[in-house]
Amino acid sequence: MRVGFIGLGSQGAPMARRIVDAGYDLTVWARRAATLEPFAGTAAKTAQSPAELAAVSDLVCLCVVGDDDVREVVGGDSGVLAGLAAGGIVAIHSTVHPDTCREIAVVAAAQDVSTIDAPVSGGGPAAETGRLLVMAGGEADIVERCRPVFATYSDPVVHLGPLGSGQVAKVLNNLLFTANLGVADSTLQLGEALGIPRDRLCEVITRGSANSKAVGSIAGFGGSLDRLASMAGALLQKDVRHAASIAEAASAPLGAVFDAAEAALVAMEHPR
């Protein structure tokens, strides 16, 4: 399978590197030449546009930031769908609204191109060691065709159901993580009010039964949400909005998880 990869950021770059290191025919594209420099010593080829990349690919993986970015690289005269031949596949690794994936799938299907959503979790370090989690949604046979490529940078690859299922699972994961951040920060504030310094309480909790990835993330930044907010606050806010939109469209109860997530977002906007 010939693979095209767009979105060579801190997570996408190691994903693409593992694809080419596994022996796949890889083509990459980026707006800035500097982004492509790490691939200069590899067998990866470079394209001048998403359409040119797609024209020499059977599978195009997208790992750009958000919904508008996905639409931009897929559509238009120089976009992926302008170059991808019938039988090709678009895999959306970005975390976006499920409706965005469905919207793209309708346009892609008109030219016999398949779409799957395959958001990932784990970050750059997990990608480098092949331990990303891929949450896939789409037709089972298409997911299976992509699985060997995904397996170069992920373990496990979980097929969750129809198109959009992967995005729903990823958004719920990020909603709960955000809620956990809110609960953790509230606990640390309570500790301060009771005379326990944040850094000491973080040390205790990360070694105790109440430990979680959220507490570990806060502890890693000195017990404050400040630096974490600057790195991931906007992305978490986007995903919480997506989760609320999905829940409301399904007339599903929002529940306490949204209250805790909102508390975390407020704390990130006004860090201590």
**pLDDT, tens only, 185-223:** 999 999 999 999 999 999 999 999 999 999 999 998 888
170 classed as catalytic: yes
**pLDDT at res. 271:** 60
**pLDDT at res. 272:** 59
* 157 plus 173 within the same structural domain: no
Domain boundary among 111, 129, 161: 161
pLDDT tens-digit series, residues 140-184: 999 999 999 999 999 999 999 999 999 999 999 999 999 999 999
**pLDDT at res. 234:** 86
* 151 plus 233 within the same structural domain: no
Number of domains composing the chain: 2
* 201 plus 134 within the same structural domain: no
Q: Which of 45, 170, 213, 238 is catalytic?
A: 170
CATH of the domain at 179: 1.10.1040
Strands 114-117 and 154-161: unpaired
When the pLDDT of each residue in the chain is averaged and rounded to a whole number, the result is 94
**pLDDT at res. 198:** 92
Domain residues for 242? 168-269
CA-CA distance, 217 to 220, in Å (whole number)? 5
pTM of the model: 0.92
pLDDT reading at 256 higher than 90: yes
Domain boundary among 161, 181, 215: 161
pLDDT tens-digit series, residues 83-120: 999 999 999 999 999 999 999 999 999 999 999 999 99
